[in-house]
Amino acid sequence: MEHHHHSNVHDHVHDHDHGHDHGHGPQSRQAFRWTVLLNASLSGLQIAVGIAFGSIALIGDALHNVGDVMGLLLGWGAESLSQKPARGRFSYGFGRSTQLAAVANAVLILMASAVVCVESIQRFRQPELVVAWPVAIAAGAGLVVNLVSARLFGSDHHGDLNRRAAALHLLGDAAVSAAVLLSALVTSITRWTWIDPLTGLGVGLSVGWLGIMLLRDGLAELMDEVPHRIDPAAVLADLQAMPGVQGVHHLHIWSIGGTRVALTVHLQRDACLSDQDPELLSGVRQAMHHKGIEHCTVQLEELDEDCGESLS
């Protein structure tokens, strides 16, 4: 006789995960708020200095920062939306808004990259002598602001694509500002007019590469790729090693936004061990929690039940 048992693990862990996310919410929102303010101010300064003193590299850095400000605003909004509880047809809540924000951010970055590259190529044809010291000061300010902004997100962003995108972009901006600063210093010494557009082209290409990587990661998560921090082979091995488990089927692991990861799985066990189900389910919950998976739905099945394709 067919026997199914759906665990209560999901409800318990869901509550735990909500507390975890809310714990990071205020800190993350503060990081977004201050980073937007700092980078918006920096972008205005860099655009003004770049136009006034003829630096396409600095203008490129400023346009990238403008794109990042827009991306940060998207991320900030998505971060707030993701905290809203599940309701109606949105049974998982709105966590995936952070992934959508990351994809939108990537598109903005690629657009900024294209603008900077085109402008730099045109500057090669019509070179202008850059007034180096104001450019160097503005670039130095960009280096400091971006490093401080990245630090605001702390080290606890690796599990969240939205926060990781923000932190990586800020660190990338810091590297770009450092390159513009070096370019301005070299130009002030050599008076070479090609240094600035060459730096601008390098800035545009590096920013574009960063945008491509972010777009790839965002689309992969939207396609329910197993998050990179989760090793699916290790998860499968842990489940197979559970006492009484004879087979593992239909194992699915995916991100539901932010740091939240969900898992569903069918476990086969001997019918005579059904009295040990509570211990098995508790063991699954604890093992998956240690793997970084806090939303688990487990279906237990008798050993002789045909469950389809096996992953074991």
CATH number at residue 156: 1.20.1510.10
The verdict on 92 and 217 lying in the same domain is yes
> For 100-109, 153-162, 280-289, which range has the lowest pLDDT when averaged over its residues?
153-162
> How far is Cα 312 from Cα 309, in angstroms, rounded to an integer?
9
Per-residue b/e over 151-164, b at no fewer than 16 CB within 10 Å? ebbeeebebbbbbb
- Supply the pTM of this predicted model: 0.65
Cβ–Cβ under 8 Å, residues 181 and 140: yes
Q: Which phi and psi angles does 164 have, rounded to 5°? A: -65, -40
Instruction: Report pLDDT for 2.
Output: 41
Q: Count the Cβ atoms, other than its own, within 10 Å of residue 81.
A: 17
* pLDDT at residue 77 greater than cutoff 90: no
The verdict on 66 and 188 lying in the same domain is yes
% of the chain beyond a pLDDT of 70? 82
Cβ–Cβ under 8 Å, residues 26 and 294: no
> How far is Cα 89 from Cα 72, in angstroms, rounded to an integer?
28
* End residue of a domain, out of 204, 222, 240: 222
The verdict on 205 and 242 lying in the same domain is no
The verdict on 50 and 91 lying in the same domain is yes
Put residue 125 in one of left, alpha, beta given phi > 0 → left and psi -120 to 50 → alpha.
alpha
Q: Say how many CA atoms lie within 13 Å of 251 toward its Cβ.
A: 22
Which residues have a Cβ under 8 Å from the Cβ of 130 and sit 6 or more positions away?
53, 54, 55, 184, 187, 193, 195, 196
* pLDDT at residue 174 greater than cutoff 70: yes
Within-domain flag for 8: no
The verdict on 176 and 276 lying in the same domain is no
Within-domain flag for 88: yes
The verdict on 148 and 279 lying in the same domain is no
Within-domain flag for 173: yes
Listed ranges 10-19, 64-73, 127-136, 244-253; the one with the highest mean pLDDT: 244-253
Band of pLDDT at residue 35, cut at 50, 70 and 90: confident
Within-domain flag for 311: no
* End residue of a domain, out of 222, 253, 278: 222
> How far is Cα 90 from Cα 73, in angstroms, rounded to an integer?
23
The verdict on 204 and 275 lying in the same domain is no
Listed ranges 9-18, 95-104, 274-283; the one with the highest mean pLDDT: 274-283
Within-domain flag for 166: yes
% of the chain beyond a pLDDT of 90? 9
The verdict on 94 and 193 lying in the same domain is yes
Instruction: Report pLDDT for 1.
Output: 39
Instruction: Report pLDDT for 251.
Output: 94
Following DSSP, what letter does each residue of 193-257 receive, concatenated?
A: TTHHHHHHHHHHHHHHHHHHHHHHHHHHHHTTPPPTTS-HHHHHHHHHTSTTEEEEEEEEEEE-S
Cβ–Cβ under 8 Å, residues 79 and 29: yes
Within-domain flag for 310: no
Within-domain flag for 190: yes
Q: Count the Cβ atoms, other than its own, within 10 Å of residue 278.
A: 10
The verdict on 166 and 96 lying in the same domain is yes
Count structural domains, the chain.
2
> How far is Cα 232 from Cα 234, in angstroms, rounded to an integer?
5
CATH number at residue 276: 3.30.70.1350
Candidates 55, 206, 203; CA nearest to 135 is: 55
What is the separation of C-alpha 170 from the centre of its chain, rounded to a whole number of angstroms? 12
The verdict on 159 and 246 lying in the same domain is no
The domain of 256 spans 228-302
* End residue of a domain, out of 222, 255, 277: 222
If you average pLDDT over residues 131-149, what whole number do you get? 84
Cβ–Cβ under 8 Å, residues 64 and 109: yes
The verdict on 191 and 169 lying in the same domain is yes
Band of pLDDT at residue 25, cut at 50, 70 and 90: low
Per-residue CA distances from 180 to 173, 201, 224, 284 (Å)? 10, 11, 39, 52
Within-domain flag for 6: no
Band of pLDDT at residue 258, cut at 50, 70 and 90: low
Which residues have a Cβ under 8 Å from the Cβ of 296 and sit 6 or more positions away?
7, 9, 10, 13, 262, 263, 264, 265, 284, 285, 288
> How far is Cα 290 from Cα 40, in angstroms, rounded to an integer?
40
The verdict on 105 and 241 lying in the same domain is no
Q: Count the Cβ atoms, other than its own, within 10 Å of residue 310.
A: 12
For 294, the 3-state DSSP assignment is coil
